Structure 1
Amino acid sequence: MIHPVWTQIAWTLLWAGFLGLQFILSAAEDVKDVQHSPVLHKQKREWRYNILLAFEELPPQNLPQQIGQLLNTRAGTNTQFKISGEGVDGVNDLFAVNKAGEIFVMATLDREKKSSYKLKAHLVDTITKQPLDDDIEFTVKVQDVNDHAPVFSETYTGSIRERSRQGAAVLTVRATDADDPTSPNGNVTYKLLNGIQYFSIHSTTGEITVQDNKLDRETQSQYILTVQASDLPGSPGGLSTTTIVTININDINDNMATFKKGFFSFKVRENEGPQFTVGTLPVEDRDEKQNKKPTFIVQNFNDIFYVEPDDQSDGALKLRKNLDYETSSTYSFKVEVREDNVAQPPDNQGSMLTTVQVYITVIDVDKPPVFSKAEYTFDVLEGPIRNKVIGSVSARDPDRTNYRIK
């Protein structure tokens, strides 16, 4: 298969035979029509020319390559055309002209290093070495071929909130192409090679946007996209390159906190004090920790029990005051979980368990006997003691067992 660069060159070389018309030394007198000569003319005799074109990257076997023709009515047996200027130093000349005035490219050019050359044309007498006409400047413009692929200077990382609207911008990628930016060779377009159901990319600006508001961090928290940059858009023979784009999905509060089961049962000793944690009511919330904000409501007995979120945002069931086994040995109540500011509808709608039944069993603790009074006072008469009993104290067992007191 012929490389597209050489295909492009081959078609262009068909025009080489016409380049001699681009650089003419006319002998006509008083010529006034010089619109196609953009730089210089004179009244008696004029140089007419367009910019000479030379392709870059010509292989050595195709050199030298003719790019133009000098003509002058004074040219003859004892005259010689010469050129000077950029790329003509007498040692490693890039350009040369023969006795017939044919201008040649002598070496491979690189437009990305130098895109044009300023030269002068001379006609001299080979005997006297004197010029036969004024010198004229002309330009050799190096024509671009598609010899550079687009280049990404980096890989990219961006982020976007889950549930973002369609069209929300994520980030912009950019590739550069060393070829002529004014030609299709340097015209870069972009394409996503994967993830097109979630993201899209603008073909010319490289901006990546959300394709649909289906982003769900709990389903997929990161996307690795491959972006392709290509030149020669819409034409065969284009060159391309790729880069990796990592997109992280940021969490929002779009899952309602729910209990993991419908009932919980705990045992607690009656001698535990306020703020004691009776047990934990685990909840399920797929959001990240900073977006888990449940609140808990105890229905009935909220003067004795309360629930607050712990470090894991589960419900910590705690005591407001001491329990008394002899007053009540069991408790049964419901606890509700709520969460405000959840995106609607929540992702877990239809599977939410927001109320649970809680059973509490109070464990009896053997308490010490209790005297009927804190202090007893007895009076005894002085003198001989006839009755050895001077008084009595009483105590009782506060436990339900009501053991005898010694």
Structure 2
Amino acid sequence: MKLGKVEFCHFLQMLALFLCLSGMNQAELSRSRSKPYFQSGRTRTKRSWVWNQFFVLEEYMGTDPLYVGKLHSDVDKGDGSIKYILSGEGASSIFIIDENTGDIHATKRLDREEQAYYTLRAQALDRLTNKPVEPESEFVIKIQDINDNEPKFLDGPYTAGVPEMSPVGTSVVQVTATDADDPTYGNSARVVYSILQGQPYFSVEPKTGVIKTALPNMDREAKDQYLLVIQAKDMVGQNGGLSGTTSVTVTLTDVNDNPPRFPRRSYQYNVPESLPVASVVARIKAADADVGPNAEMEYKIVDGDGLGVFKISVDKDTQEGIITIQKELDFEAKTSYTLRIEAANMHVDPRFLSLGPFSDMTTVKIIVEDVDEPPVFTSRLYSMVVSEAAKVGTVIGTVAAHDPDASNSPVRYSIDRNTDLERYFNIDANSGVITTAKSLDRETNAVHNITVLAMESQNPAQIGRGYVAITILDINDNAPEFAMEYETIVCENAQPGQVIQKISAIDKDDPPNGHQFYFSLTAEAANNHNFTLQDNKGDVTPYLSGAVNLY
């Protein structure tokens, strides 16, 4: 016959009650001595209480009060002259006593987990005099435990991690269940752990609750998370025990057991030759099934004819290899480059070196595309000279530009009039010959800086620029001039031969070795004998002197 949970509890209650009564009957055969009792100045014979320590089964479900035990004094002859009184914890409210017989009953259902024992006091009174016939004495009613609490995981649900590829038996986490039943009585609070969900990957130690790996080489890249259900059952796992469960989420943490792998053995990218230096040409990425630091890698160009022209670096956020230009590209010089690129893990786990090298190689071919470039001058700056005496139409020099593209389109020339506002110069549109268009004056402008435009005849939008510095050579086309208007004052008592004024001259021309001036008095002034001029023979600071006549 199978018993349900309630029926089983009733069975345990009856069994405990039977044991309790049996123990009391045996105790009634023994006597525990109390101190002498004095009454009315007379000493009487020592009396004794007779009882056993009382036990009450918790969670009693019956309708009648539950019999606890019997108090009895050896002075009680059974003639009703003795009255029993109960006091202390739960007296009257939980426990009642038959004052005639000393029988104690529990009137309420008791829960050991709320209170495990009650301390009460017993007294025997003479019914006629209401005087004690025995000293008051304490006794204890203990609440007998039954298995009415299932184990509970107070810290659940659990989360834990364990490295992938861990050996069998690696500890993952410990789970703990608590049982509110009495751990000192029977097996009600003794639990056994088992795994209900999570095999064959994990196991649990029955006594300790330690969860361990049960399969070797569990691969995070195949499955990274497992949900386990752990059961704790009391009564040492025997039939009739109560159980509780909790869940454990186990995550496999990553180890570097996967090398980087390029998805393709070769790549090809087309880039225009006009791409500036430091521009990004391409992004490539090697796939790594690992995560975090285990997936970090570095790239390098190990071979190819693009060494020095291109470089590769790693994007720390995306782990991509970024190929950039280090030197200008020229389709007319080289139309393609080949790079041999390696990707390698930065953090290698020595345990997995036997799996092979933690790196991979790929080939990147870069095709340089032709771009319609503007004409290019043979020199970045042309220097030319022309005399300021040159006539209009005089040839000064020639500039030359060519189309760098394979089509080698003819070039036409012109002068940027923003740099030659007064149109001093002309250029032949076909030959690039520069000639004078106006008379030149070195004293007005000694150097002319002009910009020459070279335009593709087939694509006028493609314009190249050349720069020409034209230096004007000086000729002696300016007469000397006195540096200033002189007004000389002389004292009437000036001595003959005394210098009264120094004069100087300037010349706008610019002879190579400097100016030499010669001074003389005009014919009219030469007839005045009061003054003389002394020429310094080319000295730039001649002076005037003369004798003064007084009137």
Q: TM-score, normalised by structure 2?
A: 0.63
> Counterpart amino acid of 1:271?
S
Q: Tell me, yes or no, if the aligned pair for 2:297 and 2:343 is still in contact at 8 Å.
A: yes
Q: Residues 196-246 of structure 1, C-alpha deviation per residue, up to 9 Å, x if partnerless? A: 333333334434344455343322232222222222123221111222222
Paired AA for residue 82 in structure 2 = Q
Deviation at 1:363, TM superposition (A): 0.9
Runs of 5+ unmatched residues, structure 1:
28-36
**Which residue identity is paired with 2:182?**
D
- CA-to-partner distance for each residue in 1:378-399, whole Å, 9 max, x for gaps? 54684767x8655433223333
Distance 1:383 1:109, change over 3 A: closer
Q: 1:243 aligns with which of 246, 262, 285?
A: 246
- When the two chains are superposed, the root-mean-square deviation of aligned CA atoms in Å is 3.2
Q: Is the 8 A contact 2:345 2:358 kept in 1?
A: no
AA paired with 1:172? Q
Quickly say closer, same or farther: Cα 1:100–1:337, change in 2 above 3 A.
same
Q: How does 1:72-87 map to 2 (within 5 A)?
A: 72=74, 74-87=76-89
| Residues 18 and 289 (structure 1), Cα distance of their counterparts in 2 relative to 1, 3 Å cut | closer
- Secondary structure in 2 aligned to 1:192? strand
Find out whether 1:287 has 2:290 as its counterpart: yes
User: What are the superposed Cα offsets for residues 287-341 of structure 1, whole Å, 9 maximum, x if unpaired?
Assistant: 2244321111211332112222223112222222212222211112311111132
Please list the CA deviations of residues 232-288 of structure 1 after superposition, one character each: whole Å capped at 9, or x if unmatched.
123221111222222333333332111001010111111223322111223111222
Task: Give the aligned residue type for 2:133.
Answer: L
Could you tell me which runs of 5 or more consecutive residues in structure 2 were left unpaired when the two chains were aligned.
Answer: 37-45, 413-551
| 1:375 and 2:382 are equivalent in the alignment | yes
Q: CA contact under 8 A between 1:25 and 1:73: conserved in structure 2?
A: no
Q: Counterpart in 2 of 1:34?
A: none
For 2:382, what is the secondary structure of its paired residue?
A: coil
Query: Are 1:79 and 1:123, in contact at CA under 8 Å, matched by a contact in 2?
Result: no
> Cα distance, 1:46 vs. partner?
4.3
Q: What CA distance in whole angstroms lies between the structure 2 residues aligned with 1:177 and 1:189? A: 11
The answer to whether the 8 Å contact 2:119/2:139 transfers is yes
**Alignment counterpart, residue 394 of structure 1, candidates 400, 412, 415:** 400
Secondary structure at 1:327 match in 2: coil
CA gap 1:75/1:390 in 2 versus in 1, 3 angstroms: same
Which structure has the larger Rg over C-alpha atoms?
A: 2
Kindly provide the amino acid, as one letter, of the partner of residue 78 in structure 2. G
* Aligned position for 2:9: 5
Post-superposition offset of 1:15: 2.3
What does residue 269 of structure 2 align with? 266
Q: Which moved more, 1:240-249 or 1:340-349?
A: 340-349
Would the alpha carbon gap of residues 83 and 400 (structure 1) be closer, same or farther in structure 2, given more than 3 Å must change? same
Contact preservation (8 Å) 1:289, 1:312:
no
Corresponding residue of 2:179 = 177
Change (3 A) 1:281 1:164: same
Q: Do the aligned partners of 1:264 and 1:358 also contact (CA within 8 Å) in 2?
A: yes
Q: Residues 90-101 of structure 1 correspond to what in structure 2 (within 5 A)?
A: 90=92, 92-97=93-98, 99-101=100-102
Report the Cα distance in structure 2 between the residues aligned to 1:357 and 1:281, rounded to whole angstroms: 11
Cα deviation for residue 343 of structure 1 reads 2.9
Q: Structure 1 residues 394 and 120 mapped into 2: Cα distance closer, same or farther (>3 Å)? A: closer
Q: Is the 8 A contact 2:91 2:120 kept in 1?
A: no
Q: State the match for 2:329 in structure 1.
A: 323
AA aligned opposite 2:258: N
- Tell me the number of residue pairs that the alignment of Structure 1 and Structure 2 aligns: 393
Partner of 1:56: 58
After superposition, the Cα gap between the structure-2 partners of 1:383 and 1:100, relative to the gap in structure 1 and judged at 3 Å, is closer
Identity of aligned residues (%): 31
Structure 1 residues 276 and 88, CA gap change in structure 2 (3 angstroms): closer
Separation (CA, whole Å) in 1 of partners of 2:188 and 2:233: 9
List aligned pairs for 1:131-150, cutoff 5 A.
131-150=132-151
Cα distance in 2, alignment partners of residues 271 and 198 from structure 1: 60
Partner Cα distance (1:72, 1:104) in 2 = 21
Task: Label 1:371 to 1:211 Cα distance change in 2 as closer, same or farther (>3 A).
Answer: same
Contact 2:123 2:134 in 1 (8 A): yes
Q: Does residue 307 of structure 1 match 2:312?
A: yes
243-252 vs 41-50, greater mean Cα deviation: 41-50
* Equivalent residue, structure 1, for 2:25: 21
> For structure 1, which segment, 376-385 or 217-226, has the greater mean C-alpha deviation from structure 2 after superposition?
376-385
Q: Is the 8 A contact 1:83 1:119 kept in 2?
A: no
Report the Cα offset of residue 49 of structure 1.
Answer: 4.8
Which of 239-248 and 73-82 deviates more?
A: 73-82
SS of alignment partner, residue 226 of structure 2: strand
Q: Distance in 1 between matches of 2:264 and 2:180?
A: 64
Indicate yes or no: 2:345 matched with 1:342: no
Cα distance change, pair 68–205 in 1 and its aligned pair in 2 (3 A): farther
Aligned residue type for 1:295: E
Please say if residues 22 and 69 of structure 1, whose CA atoms lie closer than 8 Å, have aligned partners that are also in contact.
no
Confirm or deny that 1:254 pairs with 2:238: no
Secondary structure in structure 1 of the residue aligned to 2:22: helix
Q: 2:361 maps to which residue? A: 355
The amino acid that maps onto 1:148 is N
Please tell me whether the aligned partners of residues 171 and 207 of structure 1 are also in contact (alpha carbons under 8 angstroms).
yes
Q: Matched residues in 2 for 1:69 and 1:404: separation?
A: 133
Label 1:79 to 1:376 Cα distance change in 2 as closer, same or farther (>3 A). Answer: same
Residues 41 and 48 in structure 1, CA contact (< 8 A), matched pair in contact too: no
Report the equivalent of 2:416.
Answer: none
